């Protein structure tokens, strides 16, 4: 019995121990599950941090999280852990390569930036320090990102600079050519007085160191001014036509009115004539059929009274008609007088405009259009009379140097003085025009072959003797001249070409000379 009791108490002891052991094991398992949860959370965060970098790594980490869901599966997870470890190492190597590539790309970008010529020196220095910094390798993306930010900042600053000072496009020869042609065109077009200062400024801006924007602005402004002038001219013409139209319709009204009045008067007058004729006939009849002289007297007195009445009415009508006619004529005269005045002022304006269109604004010499007109006239004279006609082209020597050394406005003044000298050196019947730039064309009729060289040499000497003084420096300005005579059936433009070729020779033969194409 005692044994049985002992056994029972041992069993219960064992049961108690077993219970305690199970409890301890359960507690241990809970603690491990808790640690496992922490590990899973960590892997979860790691997956999130790496997500998108590497698809394979994303899958492995997802599988691992699934396997680690309970402690019992930890054993199975080991292989997945190893795989994830390998991929992580590969990913690290790949990131390192990528960072190296990115570093190279950044270095290239910096080299490009350094090529921008207009960089301010401070920025240049900063970029060159930065370039040195870029020679060190990056270890993480966190090394890389700030450097990218720096490059972006450099671009930003450069962009700001460009925006502040306007983008400076390179000026190509064709831009220079366009600027030169525009400046020349501006010398040939006559602008209104109030526009001239602006045009002078534009011309000046085109001959000095200009930017593309200046050229584009110049085109825009010139176009605007021209359109404005055309619009004004159009308005003036329209106003004139309006006045003309008004006057004509007034005249038409007067004429129509006096016509209808005349028609009416004519009808009344015709009726009165008929009445008079009837009365005259009546008198005639009374005389033929007369029996009693007293009765005849009475009848004739009656007829004569009617006749006088009709004649009185006719006279009244004629007087009224006369007055009406006088008034109409007076109205017409007034209208025509007004119209005449208007036409006169329009003609004057047209004449002024025409004159302006034919003058070069800078030198006040005839311009190219005027030259063409005069060439036609002189050529027709030559064809009619066969008197000699010479064309000479004169060009100022090294004029560019004057502009470059003393400024464009000094160049302009020089042109004005030389233009005056050329004009004064010629006779009334001779003609000089500014052909463009620093080139002048002379038309010289009726000059004998033996006289042309001395004449042109006198012109050349006259220019040479002008005492120019720029910036207190005595300067001699010379011209080269080429000339040719119109021959046989040659067109005057062909003569001009020969004169121009002679000028070219004079320029080649050290300038300041006259060459005639005989």
Ligand X SMILES: Nc1nc2c(ncn2[C@@H]2O[C@H](COP(=O)(O)OP(=O)(O)OP(=O)(O)O)[C@@H](O)[C@H]2O)c(=O)[nH]1
**Interface positions with ligand X (CB under 6 A):** 187, 207, 362, 395-400, 403, 408, 411-412, 415, 437-438, 507, 511
Check if the beta carbon of residue 117 is closer than 8 Å to that of residue 161.
Answer: no
Q: State which residue, 256 or 409, has the beta carbon closest to ligand X.
A: 409
Q: State which residue, 181 or 330, has the beta carbon closest to ligand X.
A: 181
CB of 207 to ligand X, least distance (A): 5
Tokens of 184: 């020349």
CB of 188 to ligand X, least distance (A): 10
Q: State which residue, 81 or 182, has the beta carbon closest to ligand X.
A: 182
CB of 119 to ligand X, least distance (A): 32
Check if the beta carbon of residue 467 is closer than 8 Å to that of residue 421.
Answer: no
CB of 411 to ligand X, least distance (A): 3
Q: Which residues pair with 516 in a beta bridge?
A: 483
Q: State which residue, 225 or 415, has the beta carbon closest to ligand X.
A: 415
Q: State which residue, 65 or 513, has the beta carbon closest to ligand X.
A: 513
The CA distance from 120 to 359, in Å, is 49
CB of 395 to ligand X, least distance (A): 5
E strand or H helix at 393, and its extent? Answer: strand 389-396
Q: State which residue, 181 or 213, has the beta carbon closest to ligand X.
A: 181
Q: Which residues pair with 473 in a beta bridge?
A: 470
Neighbour-count burial for 290-319, b at 16+ CB within 10 Å, e otherwise: eeeeeeeeebbeebeeebeebeebbeebee
CB of 433 to ligand X, least distance (A): 14
Closest residue to ligand X, judged by C-beta, is 411
The CA distance from 91 to 141, in Å, is 13
DSSP structure string for 319-353: HHHHHHHHHHHHHHHHHHHHHHHHHHHHHHHHHHH
CB of 404 to ligand X, least distance (A): 7
CB of 176 to ligand X, least distance (A): 10
Q: State which residue, 303 or 408, has the beta carbon closest to ligand X.
A: 408
Tokens of 348: 């004057």
Q: State which residue, 84 or 442, has the beta carbon closest to ligand X.
A: 442
CB of 223 to ligand X, least distance (A): 20
C-alpha closest to that of 456 among 490, 413, 506: 506
Pairing between strand 479-485 and 468-470? unpaired
Q: What angle do CA 365, 366, 367 make, to 5 degrees?
A: 110
Helix or strand or coil: residue 435? strand
Q: State which residue, 397 or 500, has the beta carbon closest to ligand X.
A: 397
Neighbour-count burial for 204-243, b at 16+ CB within 10 Å, e otherwise: bbbbeebbbebbeebeeebeebeeebeeeeeeeeeebeeb
């Amino acid at each position: 019995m005692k044994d049985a009791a002992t056994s029972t108490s041992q069993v219960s002891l064992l049961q108690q121990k077993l219970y305690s052991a199970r409890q301890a094991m359960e507690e241990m398992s809970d603690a491990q599950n808790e640690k496992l949860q922490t590990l899973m959370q960590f892997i979860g965060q790691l997956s999130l941090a790496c997500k998108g970098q590497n698809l394979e790594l994303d899958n492995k980490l997802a599988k691992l999280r699934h396997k680690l869901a309970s402690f019992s599966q930890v054993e199975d997870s080991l292989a997945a852990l190893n795989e994830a470890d390998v991929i992580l190492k590969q990913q690290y190597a790949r990131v390192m390569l990528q960072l190296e590539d990115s570093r190279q790309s950044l270095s290239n970008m910096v080299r490009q930036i350094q090529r921008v010529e207009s960089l301010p020196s401070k920025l240049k220095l900063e970029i060159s320090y930065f370039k040195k910094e870029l020679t060190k390798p990056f270890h993480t993306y966190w090394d890389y990102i700030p450097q990218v930010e720096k490059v972006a900042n450099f671009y930003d600053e450069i962009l700001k600079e460009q925006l502040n000072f306007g983008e400076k496009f390179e000026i190509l020869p064709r831009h220079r050519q366009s600027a030169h042609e525009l400046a020349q065109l501006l010398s040939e077009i006559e602008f209104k007085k109030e526009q001239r200062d602006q045009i002078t400024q534009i011309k000046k801006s085109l001959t000095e160191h200009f930017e593309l924007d200046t050229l584009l602005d110049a085109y825009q402004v010139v176009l605007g001014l021209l359109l404005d002038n055309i619009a004004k001219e159009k308005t003036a013409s329209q106003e004139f036509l309006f006045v003309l139209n008004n006057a004509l319709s007034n005249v038409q009204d007067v004429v129509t009115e006096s016509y209808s009045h005349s028609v009416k008067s004519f009808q009344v007058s015709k009726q009165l004539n008929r009445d008079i004729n009837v009365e005259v006939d009546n008198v005639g009849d009374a005389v033929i059929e007369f029996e009693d002289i007293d009765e005849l007297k009475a009848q004739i007195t009656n007829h004569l009274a009617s006749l006088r009445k009709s004649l009185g009415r006719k006279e009244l009508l004629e007087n009224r008609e006369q007055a009406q006619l006088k008034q109409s004529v007076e109205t017409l005269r007034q209208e025509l007088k007004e119209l005449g005045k208007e036409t006169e002022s329009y003609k004057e304006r047209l004449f002024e405009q025409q004159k302006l269109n034919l003058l070069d604004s800078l030198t006040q010499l005839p311009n190219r259009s005027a030259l063409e007109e005069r060439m036609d006239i002189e050529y027709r004279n030559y064809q009619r009379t066969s008197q000699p006609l010479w064309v000479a082209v004169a060009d100022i020597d090294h004029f560019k140097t004057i502009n470059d050394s003393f400024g464009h406005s000094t160049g302009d003044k020089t042109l004005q003085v030389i233009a005056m000298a050329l004009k004064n050196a010629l006779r009334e019947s001779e003609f000089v025009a500014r052909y463009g730039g620093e080139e002048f064309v002379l038309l010289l009729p009726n000059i004998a072959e033996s006289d042309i060289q001395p004449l042109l040499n006198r012109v050349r000497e006259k220019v040479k003797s002008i005492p120019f003084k720029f910036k207190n420096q005595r300067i001699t300005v010379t011209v080269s001249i080429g000339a040719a005579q119109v021959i046989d059936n040659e067109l005057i433009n062909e003569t001009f070409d020969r004169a121009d070729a002679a000028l070219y020779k004079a320029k080649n033969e050290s300038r300041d000379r006259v060459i005639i194409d005989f």
